[in-house]
Amino acid sequence: MKHNILALCASDLSAQILKWEDFLRTEKHCSRHTLRAYISDLSHFVEFLFNHFGKNPCLNDLSEVSIKDFRSWMSKKAMDGTSNASRARSLSGIKNFLSWLDKQGIVHNAAIKAVRTPKRPHKIPRPIHETQAIELVHNAHILEKQDWIGLRNIALFTLLYGCGLRIDEALSLNLSDLPRDGFLRVVGKGSKERQVPVLEDVENMLAAYLKEYPYPIESHRPIFIGARGGRLNQGVAQKAMRDLRRTFGLPENITPHALRHSFATHLLQNGANLREIQELLGHSSLSTTQRYTEVNAEELMRIYNAAHPRA
């Protein structure tokens, strides 16, 4: 919990914020990224109310926030350069908090329902071409001075591309979670579990890395570790990818998450159906998976325009 948000609140509001945070963590099983985003957005909103009311906002103040006040807050975020997508997320977080307070019978605010969500830009995934993905994965070691770190990078990026994992899912794995009988148990968003088939190439890369693992192989240890032995930080993996793409002169959209997009797109291109891809990715909604059909359509139009004599 950010201490500054509690310092700006009256005691009754700060107590409920702590309870809401506990609810998100223990009952909703929000990821740490989602939790951090919610608290950050609520901090900004509380700071706005502090300046708006000229005092530490309390629960009663929350019930009296008008639609004009909500719009002023959203306008301030826009003037600060916050994108539509980020403002939509911020509004969603505040709605979540007020809805929770309402269900607890603590605070009711009718105005929040009338606040229109900013339109999000329509984005489609940006996958990597198959040859680029394979080149990147096989050369993920070349910039590392220590052999085991190079093998770790190969194993991590092979896992992301070969199994379609989110980077956070991969880095959360412990040695006790290593594949068994050709499958990997993955805990995704909302603590939802799924079984993902593991290619032989992925298992081979993991085995090569674990042969050079610099610590005793104990079940509680993370599979992917940093130079000091702790769980590998996501930022370190992202930097390794950044350095690789610069070395090979590859596009800026090539990130660890782009390997997940590539996994789904290449499966679709080679005949997998959307339901199968949905299960493999751990999407709760098929509409999320359907974005990959747009990628295929876009590629098809590119080929058509490049190849047709009348294009």
Residues catalogued as catalytic = 166, 189, 257, 260, 283, 292
- Neighbouring C-beta atoms of residue 95, cutoff 10 Å: 16
Which value, to the nearest 10 degrees, does the dihedral of the CA atoms of residues 179, 155, 31, 70 take? -150
Looking up tokens 């190079």 gives 150
Pair type for strands 193-197 and 183-187: antiparallel
Cα atoms in the 13 Å half-sphere on the side-chain side of 253: 13
Q: Where are the beta strands (DSSP E) in 180-225?
A: 183-187, 193-197
Q: Please state the φ and ψ torsions of residue 219, each to the nearest 5 degrees.
A: -60, -30
Cβ atoms 258, 133 nearer than 8 A: no
Please state, in angstroms and rounded to a whole number, the distance separating the CA atoms of residues 49 and 46: 5
| Closest CA relative to residue 282, chosen from 156, 186, 176, 172 | 186
Q: Left (φ > 0), alpha (ψ -120 to 50) or beta: where does 190 sit?
A: left
Cβ atoms 264, 289 nearer than 8 A: yes
Cβ atoms 137, 107 nearer than 8 A: no
